Amino acid sequence: MGLCGLARVFSLLLTLPTLPTLLYAQSAAEWRAAAQRIVRLAPAAFRELPAVVRQKLESRGYRIPQLGPAFGSDRSNVISGHFARPGQRDWAVLCSRGDSSQVLLFWGRRADRVEAWAPAADATWLQSMGPGGIQYSRYLAVADSAAIARHAREYGGPLPPRPITHDGLEVGFAEKGSAISYWHDGRWYDLPGAD
């Protein structure tokens, strides 16, 4: 076989799905069923949430979607950190109603100071975990100053204005990538997360 023949064979091999992809390929019906199986906990399951925040979430009919079991967490997507400034405890919750979710950030543990962003259909955050099946993968995490600096160094991209005095809010797609939002001087800065 000449070089042209080898090039055609190599080109064909590159377009074929890999063996794991073939073994664990799921149908459209399986993806729809996985979207219906996303575990969403009531706010009452998170006793660490301030009572006023928990009541606000319950009154709006929100539930909290959970990472799939492949990610090793039995409770996720409720976090607290110093997202505005040092010394102020803020709460971020991934809130789901119907089939979509958004991030709600409660400034200073208060239910009347809330910011919402990043709404998305929950089904867009599903991924195939091979033999583990299709699982929900959207998560929230606290990005401290060391994590913010490390991600900027490893993946490139901007740093927030210096010095980094408080936490950033990381929103991610487990094992795929994430982005960090950092509040400074009345606005959000978009920073690199994990890749």
In the chain, domain spans: 27-192
The better pLDDT of the pair 152, 169 is held by 169
Q: How confident is the model at residue 156 (pLDDT cuts 50, 70, 90)?
A: confident
In order of 18, 19, 177, the CA distances from 15 in angstroms are: 9, 12, 25
pLDDT of residue 5: 35
Residue 85 — very low, low, confident or very high, per pLDDT cuts 50/70/90?
A: very high
The confidence score (pLDDT) of residue 93 equals: 98
CA-nearest of 158, 163, 155, 166 to 193 is 155
User: What pLDDT does 7 receive?
Assistant: 32
pLDDT mean over 111-124? 93
DSSP 138: E
Taking the alpha carbons at both ends of the chain, their separation in whole angstroms is: 41
Is residue 158 within 8 Å of residue 168, measured between CB atoms? no
Alpha helices, DSSP H, located in the chain: 3-15, 19-23, 28-36, 51-59, 145-155
The secondary element (H helix, E strand) that includes residue 97 is strand 90-97
Q: Where is mean pLDDT largest: 28-32, 91-95, 114-118?
A: 91-95
